[in-house]
Structure 1
């Protein structure tokens, strides 16, 4: 049994979830199950979707399929004309929007007629992204996750910096300085990799620091902790309508 608390975009608990799970590791393919998978949209696809929505000026909505694992997959081909309906699926969570509002309504009604759905209105929180839609564009951020990282690594009161890395101080293997906890270092890298979903400005720094996960030293850790400080200074990314 899995017991979880579900949070909204403001990190407020909205309801408790309980789910029974099976011992999938004891099953054998071809005997207990056939090929199966859950549709999972890549973060890149979600960002492209939001950029397209901002460019075309249409609203993105969100819904959740209840007990999605009980339903079979749709095999029919889906065609569209000049008015496009875009749908992104992450297991049982769905975001969708259309250049023609009627298509969004038709899709919503179709899903409700086939499955038990939780209609969540306009997209505000999906896949860890906090989303604010406006006529001029779309704001995306992960401020809740940023605050979680800062608290986890004891950086709540860290100084804000303007750039995530000093270009004059190039990283190398550095066999001279004192080694640091490699597990903690890798954990910080993983946390920052997830943040790159909404913060392309930290991609280079995070990837450079990730090169030294095998034998990190104080020098590498010093550069690594600069990135959350930079993220803390600018938490939002704006997808402008006419960009």
Structure 2
């Protein structure tokens, strides 16, 4: 996994920046009832989406939480007094505190199914009856856009997708969270070019190919032979799912 303290300063620019954050925010808000209450953004990162959630819904009191100090520092600059350090597997909030909980680009980072279950369990625990949990799913699959780059990378090793929509839905059901809608949004500015993909391989962004793995250079050589080395291929399309906690009897 990347060191998110070291990545914090350059994170937004390397992940589509404000355009992607705006697209993500619109998709998330379309799944959350427009009413007053409290929202928790779990693993809020730099707060680039968290800030937009707060600005778009003045009736929501938004809180951000992240485990990486570097990320939380940047988020706190965007939302002073509303961000704290916290492990998403052990959230420091009482049961039924929030009317909505979001986890955008979190579950795909977790390699242990037990951690994914723990995150979903915690999000369900702090959610009030009638509240909605919204999370991204199938993150890695979104980057397979049918391009020539995908053809070159097809034989690469992959770790199991812990954020697969079916698995997340099953984890949610364990905690009585019921499917409540889905949406998608483009990863604006994140289309891969051959040259940028080579750099990402060497940086360790493909988690099953860590720096020093000899297979990296084999893939790099094949990518270097593709045409239009600096032309981005199509942007990925990310998916979000919503789950509702049943209202109290």
TM above 0.5, yes or no, is no
The normalised TM-score by structure 2 is: 0.26
Per residue, is there more helix in 1 or in 2? 2
Larger radius of gyration: 1
